[in-house]
Copies of this chain bind each other. A is one copy, B any other.
């Protein structure tokens, strides 16, 4: 069980999460949802408002745009994003009608740095779609690609800590099968997800390795119907691997 040295911060986090889930919410609704006194919820909301994390609009609270600022700052300071953003967009342009993600690892979970995909109307806005949170590594292609390049003991530790919770019926929940698949991924140089994260969605991902360390992975996702029987036999897997290599080169050749 993870512990929280500063309990108050954990509560504020839960409140933010609640407001995020419910959209604009009142004090009592938040208090009820988290089963804390109304006054406590109010204390936290007031501080969160003072620092700009939430906004008070005549009684109801919503998330502030400060998170957009922080999110942008977070990824702009990430060398994988800086070195991979352009190539990810190139890959996106090359693989029509699919989604492209640039993923790193954060505390044993997937951290999505870039998600291109949503085409709005006619023109490509290129604006990201969803930035999912709390994605376990074993549930998707980029996560597995990352996992495949970790030491055995790290994998063991992660599995024993968090287990292998399923997302769909196809999610790998058996450790034996996971380890076998990681072996395959190392051999092939890419990972495949056939409806393991989202039913009906297939993905191909290639790991990004630099200086003997996995820095993340780049992935292409799309409706399963849009893929060849085996993504490896089509050129797609190789295309994704090429993108990964380009980013690896950027990482290595970039000064600092």
Contacts and interface: CB of A to CB of B under 8 A. Distances in A.
B70 A16 contact: yes
A49 B85 CA distance: 25
A70 B20 contact: yes
A56 interface: yes
A50 B3 contact: yes
Given A62-B77, A126-B125, A13 B134 contact: no
A120 B124 CA distance: 13
A12 interface: yes
Nearest to A48: B9
Given A10-B47, A89-B123, A93-B123, A106 B72 contact: no
A13 B68 contact: no
Given A55-B107, A123-B89, A4 B67 contact: no
A113 to B, nearest CB: 6
B69 A74 contact: no
B125 A77 contact: no
Interface string A201-226: 00000000000000000000000000
Contacts of A112: 65, 68-69
A133 B67 contact: no
Contact of A23 (B2, B72, B77): B77
Contact of A74 (B12, B56, B65): B65
Interface string A41-80: 0011011111111011000001111111111111101100
Interface residues of A, number: 66
Nearest to A45: B5
Nearest to A6: B47
Given A68-B131, A77-B62, A104-B65, A47 B4 contact: yes
Contacts of A5: 43-44, 46-47
Given A106-B55, A111-B64, A47 B9 contact: yes
Interface of A: 2-6, 8-10, 12-13, 16, 20, 23-24, 43-44, 46-53, 55-56, 62-75, 77-78, 85-86, 89, 93, 104, 106-107, 109, 111-113, 120-121, 123-128, 130-134
19 contacts: A4-B46, A6-B44, A8-B8, A9-B48, A10-B47, A10-B51, A20-B70, A24-B77, A56-B107, A62-B78, A66-B133, A68-B71, A68-B128, A69-B71, A69-B132, A72-B131, A89-B125, A124-B124, A124-B126
Given A4-B46, A8-B9, 17 more contacts: A4-B47, A24-B77, A55-B107, A62-B77, A62-B78, A64-B74, A64-B106, A65-B75, A65-B106, A65-B111, A65-B131, A69-B131, A71-B72, A71-B131, A86-B121, A89-B120, A125-B126
